[in-house]
Every structure is written in C-alpha cells, then in structure tokens.
Amino acid sequence: MRHLKRTAKLGRTGQHRNAMLANLVSSLILHKRVTTTLAKAKAARSVAEKMVTLGKKGTIHARRLANARLRTHGPGNTLRKAERKVWRLEKDVIRILFEEIAPSYKERRGGYTRIVKLNQRQGDAAKIAILEWVDFQSAAPITPEAKPAEGAKPADTKGEST
C-alpha cells in the first residue's frame, strides 16, 4: 500500500530525483529564482523550505545536514587561496543559505517560497513555473539608477519635438 507516500516520482530513479532536486534547490539559493516545470517546482519547494528551516537553526549539525542533502562540495585544493575566497563569497550555497537567506526569514514561520505559473513550453507543452523566494531582500538592494522602473520613459531632452 502507498499510505503516506506522496513523493513525486518525476519519471526518475530515487538517486536521480534526489540529485536533481538538490541541484534545483542549490540553483534557487544561488540565483534566488529558478524557471522549471511545474511538477519539479512543486517537488523542490518542500526541499527548499526544509533547508531554510535548517538554516534558521544555524547549528553545526544543521549545516552538516544541509550539506549532506544538497551534496555541495567546496572547490578543494584546485584553486588558489584568493580564488577560494571568491568562491566562498559568491558560490558557496551553504554559506548563502545560512548567512543571507535564513536570517531574512527569522520571524516567518513557513511559506518561504512561491511558485508563479507561466505558459506552456513550446516544444513539449510542459507547464512552466518560476520558483522564487518570498519577500527576500538581498544585502545589496538594486538602486533606481542601476535598474529603471518598468514603464519608465527615457529622460526628455529640451528643445526637441517628436
């Protein structure tokens, strides 16, 4: 019987599915937004929310559990010291999860992610969705000068008529 076994199979073996979901959640942590199929987004949502819950605990044991689930590995000895430092700041998924994402959800009790449904994919008509963090404020907010608001008109030049 299948009582209380509601894991989405996604047409993959268990190991392949776990690796795919770990990669998807790692990409979500790294890029803050991922576009994928609706079924994969729904399956990855629970993994991502459990990782944020571990991140909110902030203990060494929680870091080890998150590292085991996401299967992240450092660059090892292949990079120089300066390159390892850059990797840690920009691409270390566990550090980003525990030091940037989890503290921003300290007061929230759940529902850290959102799924936004999009159109169907052209090639195979698969339902596409965006998986993203809810109310995530990055450490470096985008300034209005860097990115103009949608619908903003370019600066008018005086003396020219259209």
The phi and psi torsions of 61 (rounded to 5 degrees) equal: -65, -40
Tell me if 98 is assigned to some domain.
Answer: yes
Percent of the chain, pLDDT > 90?
65
Q: What does each C-alpha distance from 66 to 55, 83, 97, 154 come to in angstroms? A: 8, 24, 9, 46
State how far the Cα of 140 lies from the Cα of 129, in Å rounded to an integer.
26
Tell me if 7 is assigned to some domain.
Answer: no
Average pLDDT (128-156) is 62
Tell me if 129 is assigned to some domain.
Answer: yes
List, as one string, the DSSP characters of 52-77: HHHHHH--HHHHHHHHHHHT----TT
Say how many domains are in the chain: 1
Tell me if 27 is assigned to some domain.
Answer: yes
Per-residue pLDDT tens for 31-58? 999 999 999 999 999 999 999 999 999 9
What CATH number is attached to the domain comprising 56? 3.90.1030.10
Please tell me whether the overall predicted TM-score, pTM, comes out greater than 0.85 for this model.
no
Tell me if 9 is assigned to some domain.
Answer: no
Domain region containing 58: 14-133
